[in-house]
Amino acid sequence: NPHEQPSQLRGAIDEGTSSARFILFKAGSADVVAAHQKELSTSFPQEGWVEQDPLEILEIVKTCIEATIDKLIALGGSVNDIVAVGVTNQRESTIVWDKTTGEPLYNSIVWRDMRTSTTVDQLLDKVPNKTRNKNYLKPLCGLPMSPYFSAAKVKWLQDNVPKVKKAMVAGNCLFGTVDSWLIWNLTGGKDGGVHVTDVTNASRTMLMNIDTLKWDPVLLNFFELPSSILPKIKSSAEVYGYVKEGSLRSVPIAGCLGDQQSALVGQQCLNRGQAKATYGTGCFLLYNTGKVKVDSSHGLLTTVAYQLGPTQQPMYALEGSVAIAGAAINWLRDNLTILPTFGDAQGLAERAALIESGEVYFVPAFSGLYAPYWQQEARGTIVGITEDTNSSHIIRATLDAVCFQTRDILEAMNKDYGSTLTQLQVDGGMTANSLLMQLQADLTGVTVVKPSMAESTALGAAMVAGFAMKVWDIEGAPLTLPAQKWTPKYSENERDVRYAKWKMAVERSMGWDI
Ligand code: G3P
Question: Residue-wise pLDDT tens for the chain (514 aa)?
Answer: 334 444 689 999 999 998 999 999 987 788 899 999 999 999 999 988 999 999 999 999 999 999 999 999 999 999 999 999 999 999 999 999 999 999 999 999 999 999 999 999 999 999 888 888 999 999 999 999 999 999 999 999 999 999 999 999 999 999 999 999 999 999 999 999 999 999 999 999 999 999 999 999 999 999 999 999 999 999 999 999 999 999 999 999 999 999 999 999 999 999 998 899 999 889 999 999 999 999 999 999 999 999 999 999 999 999 999 989 999 999 999 999 998 888 888 877 777 765 554 689 999 999 889 989 988 889 999 999 988 888 989 999 999 999 999 999 999 998 888 877 888 999 998 999 999 999 999 999 999 999 988 889 999 999 999 999 887 777 666 677 778 999 999 899 999 999 999 999 999 999 776 5
- Measured from the Cβ of residue 47, the count of other Cβ atoms closer than 10 Å reads 7
The atom number, within ligand 1, closest to the CA of 112 reads: 2
Distance CA 50, CA 109 (A): 6
| Contact by Cβ (8 Å): 94, 197 | no
Which helix (H) or strand (E) covers residue 390, if one does? none
What pLDDT does residue 477 have? 60
Residue 85 Cα to chain centre, angstroms: 20
Rounded CA-CA distance 61/40 in Å is: 10
Mutation probe of ligand 1 site: the residue of 18, 52, 201, 260 with most atoms within 8 A of C-beta: 260
Rounded to whole angstroms, the Cα distance separating 195 from 187 reads: 9
Angle 150-160/117-125 helices, nearest 10 degrees?
A: 100
The closest of 25, 16, 13, 30 to 65, measured between CA atoms, is: 13
ipTM (interface predicted TM) = 0.97
What count of Cα atoms within 13 Å lies in the side-chain half-sphere of residue 105?
A: 26
Three-state DSSP at 198 gives strand
272 φ/ψ angles, rounded to the nearest 5 degrees: -55, 135
Q: Give Cα 109 distance to the centre of its chain.
A: 15
Residue 4 is which amino acid? Answer: E
Spacing, Cα 476 to ligand 1 middle (Å): 28
So what's the pLDDT on residue 357? 47
- Give Cβ neighbours of residue 95 (< 8 Å, ≥ 6 apart): 54, 104, 106, 108, 175, 176, 177, 178, 180, 181
What pLDDT was estimated at residue 514?
Answer: 55
Q: What is the Å distance from ligand 1's center to 266 Cα?
A: 15
- 311: burial class by Cβ within 10 Å (0-12, 13-18, 19+)? exposed
Cβ pair 261, 489 in contact under 8 A? no
Ligand 1 centroid to Cα of residue 260, in Å, is: 7
Report how far residue 124's alpha carbon sits from residue 132's, in angstroms, rounded to the nearest whole number.
5
d(CA 351, CA 236): 46
Residues with CB under 6 A from ligand 1: 16-17, 90-92, 111, 258-260, 280-282
The answer to whether 498 and 491 have CB atoms below 8 angstroms apart is no
Distance of CA 264 from the midpoint of ligand 1 (Å): 13
Q: Which long-range contacts (CB under 8 A, 24 or more apart) does 382-386 make?
A: 383/504, 383/505, 383/508, 384/359, 384/360, 384/501, 384/505, 385/360, 386/357, 386/359
Beta-carbon count within 10 A of 366 CB: 17
The amino acid sitting at 54 is P
Angle at 344 between CA 340 and CA 346, to 5 degrees: 150
* pLDDT recorded at residue 429: 87
Atom number in ligand 1 closest to CA 204: 1
